[in-house]
Structure 1
Amino acid sequence: MNNHSMTRRLLIGLMTSITLIWLIATVMGLSVMEEEYDETFDSSLQETAERLVPLVVDDLFRKEEIVAPQQLQAARPDEEGEYLTYQVRDKTGKVLIHSHDAPPTPFPAPLQGGFWSDDTHRYYTATGVSNTIFVQVADAFANRREALSETGLALFLPIFALLPLGLALSWVITRRALAPVDDLGLEIEAKDSGNMELLKTDALPLELLPIAGSVNVLLQRLRNALEAEREFTANSAHELRTPIAGALAQTQLLINELGQGPGKRRAGQIETSLVKLNHLAEKLLQLSRAQAGVGVSEKPVDLIPVLRVLIDEFHHSGQDEDRLICRCAPNARLHGHYNADAFAIALRNLIENALIHGDPDAPVEVSLKADGSISVVNGGPVYTPDELAKLTGRFQRGHTTATGSGLGLSIATRFLEQMHATLTLASPASGRDDGFEAVVRFPHQD
């Protein structure tokens, strides 16, 4: 199903409704106005005819001889046609006098008082001198349609001019009205295992309170579940470390006391299993710290000394110290609100993975570049993009026969995300045909 925009749907519905209401109101107004126009024009037609009767009768009686038909009025100087035309007829229907735009031939209206209409005109007939003189005034329907159409345009045109303005105002009002929805969405989006604080509902509209309340209930349940999981992981790891360390020490003493034979080999296998279990307990402790969201600190920290101390620890550990090579750009900066322990744990896991799972005959290169990024490169087989994507999951292992828990990259990724850094995995490594490369990029260093 395609997602849709609430704002666009609301604007379309709102503008469509306004337009339809305007059009309906205009049509209804024009219908009422047409009736009023007809009454007004008919009244004007009747009044004109009745006013002409005494004038025409007086004029006829003043003249000794009438040359019929007589055109009474000259053409208008503005060359516009007459709205009303008239004829004066006798009882036989003969046209005695007619206006300038009236035809010399008789109107089709009958010689009887009142209104009469044909397809093109509306007529009113007024009588005088005992129904021997008839004054007929005609009004073309085109005049009425013209007046109605001009009125309709005056009502219709503003909506086309106001639609863009209405759309802009509606968009602004809608965006402001829906701003709390966007703010709520951004606040929900910011929630993760490191930020499970309840949503603030003081400034939310009433319509959003049920949504925020439901989200807060869900956040509370998730927080309780995560806290229980972290507490269990940390407590389990702590509880395991002491007996594992004791069992490992006793096993090592037993190995020293036993002579060569099957018993010593079995004791060696027990030692190996205890070392694996101790390593797993250590990783579980690191994972519990990663889930607690301790990647940032209130005060800015310079991480370059932390990197150097970490490299020195590897060099003095007595294991593969010759394989680890560290290069730092002289102008490199790595400074920000980062937790030094979180950075050390994340980088330690990356370096341990490179040393343990990389080609034992190839060096491991740790490089701090001028832009503050750190790359860890080791030799080894090439991974496909799908295989690389799976490596950051929990208990995921690559092409290796070495011991491990499959948690190192997952722990490093979690810590780096909390530090707003990104971990990019590449295979083959940059500038090589084989190997594995992990690149850590921190936010821009000023």
Structure 2
Amino acid sequence: MTRRLIVGLTVATMLFWIAAVAAGALVMRGEFDEVFDSALQQTSDRLMPLLVEDLMSQTSDGGPRQTLASSAGSESYLTYQLRDQSGRVLVHSHDAPAEPFDVPLQAGYFTTPNHRVLTTEAISGSLFLQVADPLFHRREAMAETAGALFLPLVPLVPLSVLAIWWIVRRTLAPLDRFREEISTRDGGNLAPIALAGLPAELRDMESSVDRLLDRLRAALESEREFAANSAHELRTPIAGALAQTQRLVRELSEGPVKTRAREVEASLANLSRLTEKLLQMARADSGIGMSDVEADLVPIIKLVVEEFQRMRAYVGRLQFDAPKGLSMMRRIDVDAFGIVLRNLIENALFHGAEETPVTVALSEAGVITVANGGQVIPAEQLTDLVKRFRRGRTGAAGSGLGLAIAISFVKTMDGTIEFRSPATGRVDGFEVAIRLPSASPIGDRP
């Protein structure tokens, strides 16, 4: 918008200036013609009696006679011819042609391709004085004047661009602030827009946006509260049903009934995991992620990794790699960070190739990566994996919420999360890299 306004206003200013110069040039041309014609009239009025008196006092040999011989070496601004009623040139100025001017012997102004000629008569129409003014002088004066008017356009264009840019930017500054405030609003920030100094045109828009944010905030809070309460209320009965089913499985003897009981147990276990994921998603949507107190995340990473390493199903499948003595101080909620790391490790263990270990690594730059083996995921499918309840081509158990939960939490932590396939340094696999904002420089522990 700023660029369009600058270009449009600059072009409009130039066009108006050119139009004004053209109109002024036309007016000045008329004024110049009046001035030059007046000079012709005054010259003719003064020359006529002098030439007539000179003609009467001289004897003529029948040919045209040149006057003012003393000025023959210089160029006169005006030239003239004194002619009789037959058109014969009797007297002419030193630089006037001997041939008659190509204008009629009639009082008045006449214009030839190169001259403006004034014809006046004397002695009852027996003599005619014709004074010629070269049009070159008029054209030169007109060109110099028009050039002087057009010359300011050279500095005017860049100065206009700068002036218009400054005015437009200053005028649109409230609109830019308003746009930036709107861009910061999302599911984790639905606070009203409070900007001072907004023009009247934007105040009504601000009120409308605030009302929309209020309705959206109420709807999201209601949705999150329902999801959190529902998941929380379901945890106890699901846990009880799962415990009773597991006890029933142990008491039943082998057979079709025990097989169905195990299927029920697996379904209840999946439902329990889904309930837990819904609770985590509700916490992520509520904006929990940052903390006012700095915490070292390295012990949290080690604790979560060791927790998985002790599980019988994942023995030998999880590795941890980090520089010795490294610390990672961040203003991050440790519970939220633990949820992120658990979801990423679970995702890697569930969906990664069993013959390839899952690697949790921490670099000196503070980048946390979780990588697993497996087939390469095409780039167009990586964007689908981050959507809620969206799963890749896998037969492993899962709800499709792990990566979405991690993304939501990392966003509330003001961090970035990146997905790569193949994993760094491999020809296959999948890798997740997390970068969290530094509260203090990463360094060695004392």
TM-score of the aligned structures, taking structure 1 as reference length: 0.86
Q: 1: distance between equivalents of 2:392 and 2:432?
A: 14
Give the counterpart letter for 1:72 in structure 2.
L
1:162 corresponds in structure 2 to 156
Distance verdict in 2 for CA 1:405–1:29, change over 3 Å: same
Whether 2:403 is the aligned partner of 1:409: answer yes
Structure 2 equivalent of residue 238 of structure 1: 232
Distance in 2 (CA, whole Å) between partners of 1:75 and 1:332 is 104
Instruction: Report the secondary structure of 2:70's partner residue.
Output: coil
Describe how 1:189-204 pairs up with structure 2 within 5 A.
Answer: 189-204=183-198
Instruction: Please tell me the residue identity of whatever aligns with 2:11.
Output: T
Moved more, 360-369 or 189-198: 360-369
What residue in structure 2 maps to residue 3 of structure 1?
none
Show the counterpart of 1:42.
37
1:200 shift after superposition: 2.9
Q: Percent identity?
A: 48
Corresponding residue number in structure 2 for 1:357: 351
| Count of aligned residue pairs for this structure pair | 438
Relative to structure 1, the CA distance from residue 273 to residue 24 in structure 2 (aligned partners, 3 Å threshold; closer, same or farther) is same
Contact 2:178–2:195 at 8 Å: present in 1 too?
Answer: no
Alignment of 1:199-214 (within 5 A): 199-214=193-208
Report the counterpart of residue 372 of structure 2 in structure 1.
378
Please give the alpha-carbon distance, in whole angstroms, between the structure 1 residues aligned to 2:384 and 2:108: 97
Aligned pair partner of 1:70 in 60, 66, 73: 66
| Uncovered stretches (5+) of structure 1, i.e. residues with no partner | 1-5
Question: CA offset at residue 89 of structure 1?
Answer: 4.3
1:12 aligns with 2:7: yes
1:378 CA drift (Å): 2.8
Aligned ranges for residues 244-323 of structure 1 at < 5 Å?
A: 244-256=238-250, 258=252, 262-317=256-311, 319-323=313-317
Change (3 A) 1:337 1:143: same
Identify which of 171, 180, 194 aligns with 1:177: 171
Does the Cα contact within 8 Å between 1:325 and 1:365 map onto a contact in 2? yes
Q: What is the alpha-carbon distance in structure 2 between the residues aligned to residue 122 and residue 429 of structure 1?
A: 90
Counterpart in 2 of 1:24?
A: 19
Contact 1:330 1:370 in 2 (8 A): no
Rounded to whole Å, the distance in 2 between the matches of 1:110 and 1:386 is 90
Closer/same/farther in 2, CA of residues 411 and 72 from structure 1, 3 Å limit:
same
Amino acid at match of 1:43: S
Give 3-state SS (helix, strand or coil) of 2:152's partner: helix
User: TM-score, structure 2 length as denominator?
Assistant: 0.86
Give the deviation of 1:413 after TM superposition: 1.6
Q: Offset at 1:92?
A: 6.0
Partner of 1:86 in structure 2? 80
Query: Tell me, which stretches of 5 or more residues in structure 2 are unaligned?
Result: none
Is 1:437 matched up with 2:431? yes
Supply the distance in 1 between the matched residues of 2:374 and 2:92 (Cα, whole angstroms).
114
Deviations 1:123-146 (A, max 9, x none): 334455666654432222333223
Shift of 1:38: 1.8
CA contact (8 A) 1:128 1:134 kept: yes
Alignment of 1:74-153 (within 5 A): 74-75=70-71, 79=74, 81-89=75-83, 94-109=88-103, 113-128=107-122, 134-153=128-147
Deviation at 1:288, TM superposition (A): 0.4
Contact 1:383 1:427 in 2 (8 A): yes
Is this contact kept in 2: 1:333–1:371, CA < 8 A?
A: no
